[in-house]
Structure 1
């Protein structure tokens, strides 16, 4: 397979199968090929089958490995020690909690992709022949990629609509700025030009899911571009992990 066959996929996986899941696909140049929401597990698997016949990194905002029945994984605890000061701690993941939403969808997706030759190991994501599915967390990724002092509260409705829309404006501006990053994000203007102020209810939630999937896809692209040199894995493959671009403290000396 050539580099041009590489696909970087982001999935904002809904915890409940009753809710839509956001998906986005980038090619090797960082150009957005497709971004949308899907409404069933069958549609999601068909989408992935169509878009990942060759090398691919699939970055999923959901826990893919959850061995613990209660409490939280070491991954959440380790991430909190770094990102809590940025208000970017992750929700605890355990089998009991996730089961209340209709099952462990991340594990089911992982298993389906493993039957198609994907590995869940987050190492060596920069290989040209990579086929990997990894667990990511957009809020931590935002802090690392955008050099934020706190997460963007674009989902927080209680703060009021004006504050929420201001956070949306900042989020969209940061995503647009990735056009000048290494690697660049390209071809996302149509999605990022949608004004969240014009959306409410389900339409706004659908847009949110799609944009978050775009960020996950960029994390996949970033992981393939830089590999372990600019990534950090909280937790491990056996007990569950969260992969993110290296946090600001670790990356402070980069050129």
Structure 2
């Protein structure tokens, strides 16, 4: 399903029964007027790999689709405090698990972007089964791949170390602990 309709998304999730965990590639709670949110600042300061993160705040977004989605998902039991929904950051997942540095796949010529998406899909397929989907556009393929990276991100804590930045009031950002750093420092040192 490819949609930006909150009701369709919530209905689709409800019809599945209770998925164990949802990962959303967007801020779900915005409590700050300016600058970065607290979990974003925590990520920027403490994540072992320096990855840029755009600030999200209420001065930039008067009405924000992901926050509306989070409120509707709350009604069917998905809340940060239940640890069954997380904000995720696909660039952090790709960097931590596969590339060791930022892998920019949404810039460049169409052919370059498509080639990079194929590399990502090959990497993701090491962990999860890829759906057999026809894409209507390159943007749709990017969005579907981002959704797969979100699914991978919430799956990874079952088999590897992950970190959570933030709290249940201000948003919880789930990211994998970088593979190449794990041997250099202890996970408990963060």
Shorter-chain TM range is: 0.7 to 0.9
Alignment of 1:193-212 (within 5 A): 203-212=137-146
Question: Structure 2: which 5+ runs fail to align?
Answer: none
Match of 1:143 in 2: 95
Q: Work out the CA distance in 2 between the residues paired with 1:189 and 1:84.
A: 30
| 2:175 is aligned with 1:244 | yes
RMSD: 2.6
Match of 1:97 in 2: 60
Question: Structure 1: which 5+ runs fail to align?
Answer: 1-35, 124-131, 179-184
Shift in alpha-carbon separation, 1:172–1:54, aligned structure 2, 3 A: closer
Shift in alpha-carbon separation, 1:236–1:209, aligned structure 2, 3 A: same
Alignment of 1:76-95 (within 5 A): 76-81=40-45, 82=47, 85=50, 88-95=51-58
Shift in alpha-carbon separation, 1:105–1:39, aligned structure 2, 3 A: closer
Pairwise CA distance, 1:161: 4.0
Match of 1:75 in 2: 39
Match of 1:133 in 2: 85
Pairwise CA distance, 1:155: 0.4
Contact 2:24/2:86, CA 8 A, preserved across alignment: yes
Pairwise CA distance, 1:138: 0.7
Contact 1:122/1:243, CA 8 A, preserved across alignment: no
Shift in alpha-carbon separation, 1:57–1:79, aligned structure 2, 3 A: same
Match of 1:156 in 2: 107
Pairwise CA distance, 1:233: 1.1
Pairwise CA distance, 1:249: 5.8
1:160-212, Cα deviation, whole Å (9 max, x unpaired): 3454344223212211232xxxxxx12x1634xx7xxxx8xx61111111111
| 2:9 is aligned with 1:44 | yes
Contact 1:137/1:242, CA 8 A, preserved across alignment: yes
1:36-78, Cα deviation, whole Å (9 max, x unpaired): 3114122112111112x23521111111121101111122223
Of Structure 1 and Structure 2, the greater strand share is in 1
Q: Work out the CA distance in 2 between the residues paired with 1:240 and 1:156.
A: 28
Shift in alpha-carbon separation, 1:98–1:84, aligned structure 2, 3 A: farther
When normalised by structure 2's length, the TM-score is 0.82
Q: Work out the CA distance in 2 between the residues paired with 1:242 and 1:217.
A: 14
Shift in alpha-carbon separation, 1:39–1:66, aligned structure 2, 3 A: closer
1:130-180, Cα deviation, whole Å (9 max, x unpaired): xx111111110111221x2322222013xx3454344223212211232xx
Give the secondary-structure state (helix, strand or coil) at the position aligned to 1:92.
coil
